[in-house]
């Protein structure tokens, strides 16, 4: 990545951090799950994590990088999809683990990668469309640091192949 592109991208990400109100506050003492609950904009994601039995995993030391879809992102799915997924633990787990990578990847690490291997096993493609994107989902907010990793907020639910 050339220096100009990297500086411009980091500047863009910094503006996004300041301008979005999805999560505000210091969560370094809270884990990923508690941070998502406290934010209030990830109710569907939290319900899905509970239904899949992944709460203990996402409360463990990790570290993890989570690409967290907002409630609005889940609302973009076809009607009945979320309800059906909540009843299919295997498929739900595959989708949720597709949103998680091992390790703590800050925005600069994500942007420097062309792809990111998920704990589900497949990789997410990183690109710059109208801003930073992961598998076609816009990254709305970055670097929400938690006690066991980092959260990057996205505008769509990622679906593995």
In tens, the pLDDT along 96-106 reads: 999 999 999 99
What pLDDT digit, counting tens, does each position of 43-68 carry? 999 999 999 999 999 999 989 999 99
Tokens of 95: 């989708």
Domain count of the fold of the chain:
1
Look over the chain and give the mean of its residue pLDDT values, rounded to a whole number.
Answer: 85
What's the CA gap between 71 and 87, in Å, rounded?
A: 18
Residue 159: inside a domain, yes or no? Answer: no
Residue 161: inside a domain, yes or no? Answer: no
Q: Which domain does 36 fall in, by range?
A: 3-154
* pTM of the entire predicted model: 0.83
Q: Return the closest-CA partner of residue 69 out of 94, 36, 38, 30.
A: 36
Residue 29: per-residue pLDDT? 77
Tokens of 62: 């990790």
């Amino acid at each position: 990545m050339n220096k100009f592109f990297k500086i411009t991208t980091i500047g863009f990400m910094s503006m996004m951090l300041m301008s979005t109100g999805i999560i505000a506050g210091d969560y370094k003492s809270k884990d990923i799950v508690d941070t998502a609950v406290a934010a209030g904009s990830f109710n569907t994601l939290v319900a899905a994590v509970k239904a899949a039995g992944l709460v203990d995993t996402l409360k463990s030391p990790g570290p993890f990088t989570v690409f967290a879809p907002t409630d609005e992102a889940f609302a973009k799915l076809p009607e009945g999809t979320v309800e059906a997924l909540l009843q299919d633990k295997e498929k739900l787990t595959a989708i949720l683990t597709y949103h998680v990578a091992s390790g703590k990847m800050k925005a600069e690490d994500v942007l420097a990668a062309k792809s990111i291997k998920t704990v589900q096993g497949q990789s997410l493609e990183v690109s710059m469309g109208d801003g930073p994107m992961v598998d076609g989902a816009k990254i709305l907010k970055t670097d929400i640091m938690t006690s066991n990793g980092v959260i990057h907020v996205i505008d769509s639910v990622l679906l593995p192949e």
